[in-house]
Amino acid sequence: MAFSPEENRRYARHLVLKGMGGGGQQALQRARVLVIGAGGLGSPAIAYLAAAGVGTLGVVDNDSVSLSNLQRQIVHRTHTIGQAKTASAVAFASALNPHVAMVAHDVRIDGGNAQTLVDDYDLVLDGSDNLETRRAVAAACEALGRPLVSGAVGMFDGQLTIFAPHLHRADGSAAPKFTDLYPEEAGDDDLPSCEANGVLGPLTGVIGTLMAMEAIKLITGIGEPLIGRVLVYDSKGARFSEFSF
């Protein structure tokens, strides 16, 4: 899979990067990635995956852009207020990198359509804001054997992990499932609401960008992905911590 002269210039810093190179960039070009939510977490993930040259990038969201989104949802603009978030995100990513095939799924993902949506992709990133959606996405990914990069934020703190029970941890042990971290009895009332409690804008950029990083690692085989590990970021204390589950 040869790159055009323009693509060689566009991806030059990847092509000379030891461990990435042409093989890694070609893996990105072949990849099909689905991002759930074009909001605070989805925005930076979409931006960096598009910039990196992911071949096909799908975006699922049934919401429209509002003024309060613009404090943190960086793929949207003031002039896109009122537009579907999928259309706004696709326009941003296409302008950033026309070599990426963008697919807008202007629907609400749930247990009834999750498998159909996920089945067309190799990898999923979930930046949704409720456990009902997260459970539906995780169940579909588990059933289809797709890795799931999951991020969450609230107020000043964020976290991310990878659910891939069809794979293994670095030590060879079985990778955990979504229900190992979020038991069935857990509900949205147990989690802080960004609408009610707020969220620091750049925090979503930190976690969303790390989600894109983990996705690129999974696609290219670089490094050790966060399978069975949760990375936690405390923005007020400027500290990262980690725990296994």
Q: Which residues are catalytic?
A: 194
Polymer length in residues for the chain: 245
C-beta separation of 22 from 55 below 8 A: no
163 sits in which H/E element: strand 157-163
Cα dihedral 43→71→226→145 (10° resolution): -40
Pull the structure tokens for residue 48. Answer: 């960096």
Instruction: Residue 105: count other Cβ atoms within 10 Å of its Cβ.
Output: 19
